[in-house]
Structures are given as C-alpha cells and as structure tokens.
C-alpha cells in the first residue's frame, strides 16, 4: 500500500510546498507495517528548489499485539 500526499501553502510569511510518501508492506501476523517514508519540502516560487528532504526505511519488525478502538467523534468544547 502507498499513500502519496502533496500540499501547497501560499502563505505570504511561509510559502511552502511538500510531499509525504508512505509505503506499507505485510509484516508479522499479516499486519501492514511501514516500510519506507519520504518527506520533501520545496520553495513555492521555485518548485525546483528543495528546502528539506528526509527518507526513512523500516525493518526488523518483531511480533507484537495492538488494539484499535474506533470511537465516535467528540464535539469540541462549546460546540453542539
């Protein structure tokens, strides 16, 4: 599975564009676990100017257990 998220913020004080790329693969017990993550940030005015880049790879997963609970959305304080 792959998630590719791109964004652009043209704020006059912090104009930035970026991309997050996450890749997942089967791990122990058939769970999807992260295998690779990339993030890149660019100057909005010149998309060829790379401001920051990070790449992480994950390996050596061990067996573990996890519990996931989906709860209804809670309203913010002061909101109906």
pLDDT tens for 23-32 read 999 887 788 8
pLDDT of residue 48: 79
pLDDT of residue 38: 93
> Is residue 11 in a domain?
yes
Percent of the chain with pLDDT over 70: 75
pLDDT of residue 60: 73
Look up the domain containing 52 and give its range. Answer: 2-57
Query: Looking at the DSSP assignment, which residues form a beta bridge with residue 3?
Result: 22
pLDDT of residue 28: 76
- What token pair was written down for 64? 């573990």
> Is residue 71 in a domain?
no
> Is residue 77 in a domain?
no
Q: In total, how many domains does the chain have? A: 1
Per-residue confidence band for 44, with pLDDT thresholds at 50, 70 and 90: confident
Instruction: Write 24-30 long-range contacts (CB < 8 A, 24+).
Output: 25/1, 27/61, 28/61, 28/62, 28/63, 28/64, 29/63
* Strand bridging mode 2-9 / 16-26: antiparallel
pTM (2 decimals)?
A: 0.63
């Amino acid at each position: 599975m792959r998630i590719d998220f791109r964004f652009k913020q043209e704020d006059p004080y912090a104009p930035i564009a970026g991309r997050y790329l996450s890749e997942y693969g089967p791990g122990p017990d058939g769970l999807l676990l992260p295998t690779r993550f990339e993030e890149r940030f660019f100057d909005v005015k010149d998309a060829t100017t790379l401001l920051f880049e990070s790449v992480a790879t994950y390996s050596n997963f061990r067996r573990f257990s996890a519990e996931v609970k989906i709860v209804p959305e809670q309203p913010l304080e002061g909101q109906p």
